[in-house]
Amino acid sequence: MKHSSDHDAAHAHPPVSRRDIVILGSAALLAAAVPAALFGRDPSVLALDSDVFLRLLADRQAAAKLGEIWFAESRPAETRAIYEARLARRLRAHGWTPAATPELAHRALAAATRADYLGDRMVAIEKWHFSETEADLCALAALVMRDSAHHA
């Protein structure tokens, strides 16, 4: 993610803390462990769902906060299925499947993020620039948190 020099000083929401930004840095995204139980199952019975992707995040709440800010600033909240499909398409382009090992999942995420940066596929959230892949993970986390709050 890159810092942008131009920023509207008027905030309709609390500013993103440096901690939130660091959480979504490459190291945090890639360091989260994907539970081994997920990978011990037959790939044909694995349903593609949000949790498969959210296991790649070190801090779902920080990601959800950034997703909500993105929605408020410039992006309408779409369905979870749309974000799941986008993430699956991006990660599959780099060798990922729902049955991938944690290492392969992390490598695919890193490669998709790098490809976004190289292709200038960026999203501005507050004064920070994220890859589309990172932003979609944040959006998905926000939608999952919303659903969890409604079912609680």
The per-residue pLDDT for range 9-43, each reduced to its tens digit, is 444 555 666 555 554 544 334 333 333 333 333 33
What is the pLDDT, as a whole number, of residue 13?
Answer: 55
106 contact partners, CB below 8 Å, separation of at least 6: 30, 34, 56
What is the pLDDT, as a whole number, of residue 6?
Answer: 43
* Residue 128, domain member (yes or no): yes
How much is the pTM?
A: 0.69
Comparing CA positions, the residue from 21, 48, 56 lying closest to residue 137 is 56
Q: Which residues of the chain have pLDDT under 50?
A: 2-11, 23, 25-47
* Residue 8, domain member (yes or no): no
Residue-range definition of the domain harbouring residue 135: 16-32+46-151
* Residue 3, domain member (yes or no): no
**Beta-sheet pairing, 122-125 with 2-3:** unpaired
Instruction: Count how many domains the chain has.
Output: 1
Q: Six-digit token pair at 16? A: 């993103």
* Residue 2, domain member (yes or no): no
3 state SS of 57? coil
* Residue 40, domain member (yes or no): no
